[in-house]
Amino acid sequence: MTSDPTLALRVRDLAKTYGDKRAVDGLSFDVRRGELYALLGPNGAGKTTTLRIVSGLLDADGGAIDVFDVDALTDPIAAKRMIAWLPDEPMIYDKLTVWEYLEFVAGLWGIDAKTAATRAEDLLKLLGLWDNRNDRCESFSRGMKQKAVLAGAMIHEPKLLMLDEPLTGLDAAASRFVKDLLRRKVDEGAAVILTTHILEVAERMADRIGIIKDGRLLIEGSLAELQARAGAAGQSLEDVFLSLIGDDGGAAPGDNPAIEAAK
């Protein structure tokens, strides 16, 4: 693909099939540097599968992926060094303290001990976990585990963060903290992709939004652009979303005049 210095991620014609189900069907989209991009869609739309492929956890059946001009399919190791992936359920080693967990993750990335210790201290203080650094992760609440996993994801200083339902199960304080942290990373020049079923979060946070269904991109752009293209000026993201996918999430693109108008 042609190099574009403004892009953090370029996905073209991505495809993935499970048995006779096309989970991702010729999906193409871009995420810019210094941008928070919300990837939205109903259950089973292909959001998580797409992010797992970009992160290198799943093989694609076809298509192309560039991460900061690195071909992620032919050079996955180089691409992974720039990526952080956070699944919807925090995955952590409960018997480790959070400090030991960060030491372990830093070691996997080949970060020297002194640098790892400095970054771990900075992250734990930033995330409000410094006083718990010697506590085993099994004693943590859901919100604390989410913060610990986020610290682990950022210890190698990724330039592209991908988060699948990052606010699920968090209380208001923890949710606000994570949102502020993501905005801070974007302001520093990183790119963030998140999926969420909380459309108010996407409406408030996202610079651009992509809506997918059945593994295909229906529409993308800023909220104002989505409203204009869907003929829904002044309406909420929830209203735009439901007009595009159908209130029951079951209408095919060709059956929905709002989708046809938005193309």
Q: What pLDDT is attached to residue 247?
A: 56
Count of structural domains within the chain = 2
Q: What pLDDT is attached to residue 56?
A: 92
Q: Are residues 44 and 172 in the same domain?
A: yes
Q: Are residues 74 and 47 in the same domain?
A: yes
Q: Is residue 68 part of a domain?
A: yes
**What's the pTM value of the predicted model, to 2 decimals?**
0.87
Q: Are residues 162 and 228 in the same domain?
A: yes
Q: What pLDDT is attached to residue 1?
A: 56
Q: Is residue 48 part of a domain?
A: yes
Digit-by-digit pLDDT tens for the chain (263 residues) are 557 889 999 999 999 999 989 999 999 999 999 999 999 999 999 999 999 999 999 999 999 999 999 999 999 999 999 999 998 887 899 999 999 999 999 999 999 999 999 999 999 998 899 999 999 999 999 889 989 999 999 999 999 999 999 887 778 888 888 888 899 999 999 999 999 999 999 999 999 999 999 999 999 999 999 999 888 888 999 999 998 887 544 444 444 444 444 44
Q: Is residue 150 part of a domain?
A: yes
Q: Is residue 91 part of a domain?
A: no
**CATH number for the domain harbouring residue 203:** 3.40.50.300
Long-range contacts of 233-238 (CB under 8 A, 24+ apart): 236/199, 236/203, 237/199, 237/200, 237/202, 237/203, 237/209, 238/199, 238/200, 238/203
Structural domain ending residue among the three candidates 119, 141, 157: 157
Q: Are residues 251 and 194 in the same domain?
A: yes
Q: Is residue 1 part of a domain?
A: no
Residue range of the domain that includes 143:
96-157
Q: Are residues 107 and 121 in the same domain?
A: yes
Q: Are residues 164 and 63 in the same domain?
A: yes
Q: Is residue 88 part of a domain?
A: no
Q: Are residues 77 and 168 in the same domain?
A: yes
Q: What pLDDT is attached to residue 51?
A: 95
Q: What pLDDT is attached to residue 2?
A: 53
Structural domain ending residue among the three candidates 134, 157, 180: 157
Which DSSP letter does residue 193 get? E
Find the length of the chain: 263
Q: Are residues 168 and 141 in the same domain?
A: no
